[in-house]
Amino acid sequence: MSSGYRQVPEESIARRGFLPRFFASWSAIIGALIVVILIVVAIAAPVLAPNDPYEAESLRDAYRPPGQQFPLGTDVLGRCILSRILFGTRISLTVGLVVQGISVALGVTLGVVAGYREGIVDDIVSNLTNIMFGFPHLLFALAVVTVLGPGLYNMFIALGLAGWPMIARLVRGQTLSVKRKEYVEAARAAGCSDFFIVTRHILPQCLSPVLVMATMGMAAAILAEAGLSFLGLGAQPPAPSWGSMIARGRDYIWDSPWMTTYPGIAIFLTVLGFNLLGDGLRDFLDPRV
């Protein structure tokens, strides 16, 4: 007697319901919208910027409040706040992409090696990961930048080195789980190489959680970049970093609040967008949902 249940292939479900399932979450919709806007702004910054973000036409334009010529006002040197925020989007997105690229490359490599080889290799990577967890993320990056010197490229290295332990621990656990599956044992019994097993069977299973963590990690990297630039250890003047803009305007926060308010809003919206997008991806990729 038929129970009335007809099994549908999982691939068909995923292919048919990708966009509806993803955009069923309001956090995913809002996050994706913010991120898309940021990407468009970063690409079209030279067209959208009403003034030169690096040089002021005259020092007489300094401390100007928001108006027709300068929609978000000017800073202490008379430079347009709006133009600098638009160009600063490029710095923030570049930092997020490069830093997460370094963190994901290191974390995935070390996590897979530790989980697949186990033994002394796993012990070394696990102990190194535990040591890294003993340092606050921003404090470790601050120490590295202090040793290497201030600058955007040194900040890439510092934040990238600070962000890999969480990814490594996640990938290690996933690798330990997948390597004991029947199809992995069958591939090993069939004589498949370790490289084939890792790239064909293990890494694809790690893609979803790593993607979610990398998306949320971009928000953390952008926030850390703003903090380091605020301290003068990130992007150096005249680069329009949002953190350095806040640092330069903090002494005038009562008389000219637009110098710090608008860059702060830009940081808030960017971090919010990536966090919401990561939250939506997590709900979408979670097999329990």
Fold of 76-285: MetI-like fold (1.10.3720)
* pLDDT value of position 21: 65
Q: Which of 239, 211, 210 is nearest to 226 (CA)?
A: 239
* Regions in the chain scoring below 70 on pLDDT: 1-24, 286-289
pTM of the model: 0.85
* pLDDT value of position 4: 39
DSSP secondary structure, 31-89, as one string: HHHHHHHHHHHHHTHHHH-SS-SS--S-GGGTTPPS-SSSTT-B-TT--BHHHHHHHHH
**How far does Cα 10 stand from its chain's mean position?**
30
Q: Which of 59, 164, 58 is nearest to 111 (CA)?
A: 164
* pLDDT value of position 11: 46
**DSSP letter assigned to residue 127:** H
* pLDDT value of position 33: 93
Give the pLDDT confidence of 198-223 residue by residue, as tens digits.
888 888 888 888 988 999 999 999 99
* pLDDT value of position 10: 43
Q: Which of 226, 238, 267 is nearest to 78 (CA)?
A: 238
Q: Return the HEC string of 181-209.
A: CHHHHHHHHCCCCHHHHHHHHHHHHHHHH
Q: What percent of the chain has pLDDT over 90?
A: 38
